[in-house]
Amino acid sequence: MTAYTEEYRGLVAWTGGGEVTTAFRREVAALVGEGGLISEPAQLRTYECDGLTGYRVVPALVVLPATTEEAAAVVRLCARDRIPFVARGAGTGLSGGALPVADGVVIGLARMRSVLSVDVADQRAVVQPGVTNAGISAAVAQHDLYFAPDPSSQVVCTIGGNVAENSGGAHCLKYGFTTNHVLALTFVTPDGDVVTLGGDAPDQVGPDLRAVVLGSEGTLGIVTEVTVRLLRRPEAVRTLVADFPDAEAAGNAVSDIVAAGIVPAAVEMLDELAIQACEKAVQAGYTLGCQAALVVELDGVAVEVDEEFAQVQAICRRNGTTNLRVADDAQERARIWKGRKAAFAAMGRISPDYFVQDGVIPRTKLGSTLTRIREMSDAAGLRVANVFHAGDGNLHPLVLYNGAVAGEAERAEHLATAIVELCVEQGGSITGEHGVGSDKACSMTAMFGPDDLTVMARVRAAFDPQGICNPGKVLPTPRLCGERPGPYRPHPLEAAGLIERM
């Protein structure tokens, strides 16, 4: 069976091909001013990759519009000349979703960073796409409100990127993802039209177009304003770290918490390697040598949180916890989270290089999957650190390697891909929150069949018939994926000399 239908091939066939000419550059400069234009080679390199630094492509031009109208005007020029464009926020994405297209345009939203309005009574705010995730919560904190999605990069990542990736974070177990917290979008279509998706009401009449744009990774258009839903800060928050002798015991504790009818705000797990890295980096007080540490946070109505927090502690003890650390105050809680959220960055302390994966498994398969990852890691002779959202089965295995050792990067990449495919075999997903981007486009065939992909390609073509809006992301390009169903291969753009591995 082939992985693609003929219709699919036709829909995703390359249809860009326009060129950034001197005349085009002049037209763009007239729209956004010289300050909104970057075309110096050295400066363009700043935009050659996002948080997935392995893939790099220098764009022909970077445009930084200051308003929705400017962004739309730039998109109209791109559409007229069939020039591919890629929207970009802070560039913290981990799947290469903002990887530029060679000879294409990057539209950076960094200059659009105002909180336009806050409606306290209705608990919502209208913000521009360049506002940071944490910036939203900071802007409304005085009203006891906050924006619930909290990706680990929240201090720098932007709401525009959160919308593109449908970002989650540690607390999405209870509170959901970005898609659950966005009421309306001002949206520039790939033709350059400006439309509103969603609105004042919880639902609009007809198919939910807002929802299909959320998480579409910049492939359907550009979001230039976001109306976010805000939540009232919970009355009480309680956090603990419980050490366990092994991941299975920790996993059983999580199962017991869920079985008790408790919906924690967050449940995170760190293994020995991850703890080691975090402690070296930020000294957050995790126990060195501990095989599996659980971070459990409950929030809500004080009486209930206290009651359930006691239950959680009892469950941890019953499952053989070797140490229970309860955060007594907000500072201590912040320290625990600092350790957890620094995990990826901290890997540099224990390994020169790493690949991070983002597969999801049904939570009940946690124990068996971790055992299998351990076996695969041993067989490959590579270390794998695990730090993940245990409550919803979203794994973040970090495959550690040394790029200076010949062949190790390739082995690491194969191991990382094998882990992702293991997740799909277990009934899970190739990505829980990082997105498909450039990185996992070829793995889409491991999860979706030819007809599934065909329908997704139809959706994409409905928004972007010219195929100029972030092409090559999310949906696999058959000729770049080795024309083979199933297993992921190293990115052929690399072989084609279009991108380089640093």
- Choose between 65 and 437: whose C-beta lies nearer to other proteins: 437
CB of 141 to other proteins, least distance (A): 14
Distance CA 190, CA 500 (A): 28
- Choose between 243 and 308: whose C-beta lies nearer to other proteins: 308
Distance CA 487, CA 470 (A): 24
DSSP 186-229: EEE-TTS-EEEEE-SSSS-SSS-HHHHHTTSTTSS-EEEEEEEE
Distance CA 210, CA 487 (A): 32
Distance CA 333, CA 241 (A): 10
Q: What is the dihedral of CA 409, 413, 414, 419, to 10 degrees?
A: 140
CB of 78 to other proteins, least distance (A): 18
- Choose between 364 and 402: whose C-beta lies nearer to other proteins: 364
User: Which 3 state secondary structure label does DSSP give 86?
Assistant: strand
- Choose between 4 and 463: whose C-beta lies nearer to other proteins: 463
Q: What Å distances lie between residue 110 and 27, 36, 187, CA to CA? A: 21, 10, 16
Burial letters 297-320, b for 16+ CB under 10 A, else e: bbbbeeeebeebbebbbebbeebe
- Choose between 23 and 205: whose C-beta lies nearer to other proteins: 205
CB of 116 to other proteins, least distance (A): 15
- Choose between 152 and 189: whose C-beta lies nearer to other proteins: 189
CB of 415 to other proteins, least distance (A): 20
- Choose between 65 and 432: whose C-beta lies nearer to other proteins: 432
Question: In 10 A of CB 325, how many CB atoms?
Answer: 18
Which ranges constitute the DSSP H helices of 426-487?
444-447, 450-463
- Choose between 74 and 214: whose C-beta lies nearer to other proteins: 214
Cα 442 from chain centroid (whole Å): 17
CB of 432 to other proteins, least distance (A): 4
CB-based contacts of 497, cutoff 8 Å, min separation 6: none
CB of 275 to other proteins, least distance (A): 23
The residue type at 153: S
Distance CA 368, CA 374 (A): 10
DSSP 397-441: EEEEE-TTSTTHHHHHHHHHHHHHHHHHHTT-BS-SSS--TTTSG
- Choose between 116 and 495: whose C-beta lies nearer to other proteins: 116
Q: For the packed helices 247-259 and 366-380, what is the interaxial angle rounded to 10 degrees?
A: 160
CB of 135 to other proteins, least distance (A): 22
- Choose between 200 and 410: whose C-beta lies nearer to other proteins: 200
CB of 133 to other proteins, least distance (A): 16
Q: Tell me if 387 sits within 8 A of 336, measured CB to CB.
A: no
Burial letters 446-459, b for 16+ CB under 10 A, else e: bbbebeebbebbeb
DSSP 371-405: HHHHHHHHHHT--EEEEEETTTTB--EEEEE-TTS
Name the pairing type of β-strands 231-232 and 145-146. Answer: antiparallel
CB of 121 to other proteins, least distance (A): 5
CB of 433 to other proteins, least distance (A): 6
Partners of 184 in beta bridges = 198, 227
CB of 156 to other proteins, least distance (A): 20
Distance CA 478, CA 121 (A): 50
- Choose between 216 and 417: whose C-beta lies nearer to other proteins: 216
CB of 64 to other proteins, least distance (A): 25
State residue 489 phi and psi, 5-degree precision: -115, 160
- Choose between 18 and 168: whose C-beta lies nearer to other proteins: 168
